[in-house]
Structure 1
């Protein structure tokens, strides 16, 4: 699907590259994004031996409701404040134990609710770089995880989460923007139970690349 979108998006970007800047207007907006995520290896530590989990590349999608400050608040700066909901999922690839590495099955997902603040550097072109920071809540779920066909864990935990983001926006209209963004997302130490009922402390951090659309109203 991403390959099919690459050519028309490329043509659109080249067409609009030389377009004059379209100043952002103050007011609310809604947005949606989708993309890919790469999970860092997760170290899991409990009463017994620790083990590590590796994951395949996953998918990401989400939406946001926010407010664009426009050009009318110089003391605050140029940017946006938004509430974001997103969901990411990755399949398990391998599990590493002290006695070796084995194939793993199942998946891990994170449903997050974040409050983001985004600063923008507006200029005379249609492109606007931005950086931001967000914090909130994430429900991390390890779903039907198995190692060498044996049950490993099937549990979830809600924890504090934060993210740092950066990217660039392309103005298509005074109220419509395409966002190309990178997010580093981390859910802080979810505690899960393994198949025997023992609790272990896990990790969840990911690198997220996304394409988004924002529409003001």
Structure 2
């Protein structure tokens, strides 16, 4: 009986000891001095990486804001601008009439007063210089006063008609009434040597609307009316045919886009179609006649605006 009791007591003690060891294995180990528990390390590492990401995003955002200023709303206030560019003038179908009768000669009959005449003039590309003073509203609209100068040279003249008949192949004496016929070049040969130029001075009142894209880039459209003076010089083959000026009402249509460099400065590119409501009427020096010259032109320009708004 004593042997049985001793064996039972030993088995119980051994069982309790093994259960105790298993329970200790299941419990978390204590942190060593100066070290975090193993289960805490991933969480702290993730927090550290998240903070780095946030700092990186903030730095990138600050850099982007510095490079591309936001355009949440239009800035109200006055501005000035300066631009220049390329002028693409349209051909001019010049038309007019004789103001007085041209007397007859041995070679040619008289040309009665009011007889129509005309010819076509082709121009070379030219240049434009423009200055603007305006005011921008915070709703996207702008009003502007613009001064403009454009100039382009004559390329050639052709197709001269008198009374509806083309006289390019006729001796130029039909117009000059000078040397006898058959001793001079033809009308077509003389006017084909296109010399001369057209200079336009314009003053316009413009209205624009800037389309807010929420960024530094803003397209816009506009229109303007004003007054334009045309200074016309036609000197084919060195012959002083016309050299005078005339003013008239004009209009223009514009479309372009601007890009903000800062809160107070922007660059812009613009296309403009400009024309007068009538032709520029100039007297001819060679003949007793008045000629109407068309001055329609396309202008492709680029420039800068400086704002003074709050």
Distance (whole Å) between structure 2 residues aligned to residue 25 and residue 103 of structure 1: 53
**Partner residue, 2:226:** 136
2:95 alignment partner, one of 45, 49, 69: 45
**Partner residue, 1:89:** 151
**Partner residue, 2:138:** 70
**Partner residue, 1:156:** 245
Q: Higher relative contact order by CA 8 Å / sep ≥ 6: 1 or 2?
A: 1
Distance (whole Å) between structure 2 residues aligned to residue 191 and residue 80 of structure 1: 34
The list of structure 1 runs, each at least 4 consecutive aligned residues, that deviate by more than 4 angstroms after superposition, is none
**Partner residue, 2:271:** 182
Displacement of 1:152 after TM fit? 1.5
- Number of aligned residue pairs: give it: 195
1:137 touches 1:161 (CA, 8 Å); kept in 2? yes
Does the alignment pair 1:19 with 2:68? Answer: yes
Displacement of 1:20 after TM fit? 4.2
Cα shift readout 1:112-158 (whole Å, capped 9, x = no counterpart): 00000001111122110000000000001103x21122221001001
1:24 touches 1:174 (CA, 8 Å); kept in 2? no
Task: Give me the CA root mean square deviation.
Answer: 1.7
Does the alignment pair 1:111 with 2:210? Answer: no
2:142 touches 2:207 (CA, 8 Å); kept in 1? yes
**Partner residue, 1:214:** 305
1:21 touches 1:125 (CA, 8 Å); kept in 2? yes
Higher relative strand content:
1
Q: TM-score, normalised by structure 2?
A: 0.60
Distance (whole Å) between structure 2 residues aligned to residue 87 and residue 19 of structure 1: 33
2:143 touches 2:208 (CA, 8 Å); kept in 1? yes
Select the structure of larger CA radius of gyration.
Answer: 2
1:21 touches 1:127 (CA, 8 Å); kept in 2? no
Distance (whole Å) between structure 1 residues aligned to residue 302 and residue 193 of structure 2: 32
Cα shift readout 1:55-111 (whole Å, capped 9, x = no counterpart): 11001001010000024xxxxxx1200000010000111011231460211110110
Distance (whole Å) between structure 1 residues aligned to residue 77 and residue 307 of structure 2: 7
Does the alignment pair 1:126 with 2:216? Answer: yes
Distance (whole Å) between structure 1 residues aligned to residue 284 and residue 266 of structure 2: 44
**Partner residue, 1:29:** 79
5+ residue gaps, structure 2, are 1-63, 98-115, 161-165, 169-187
5+ residue gaps, structure 1, are 1-14, 72-77
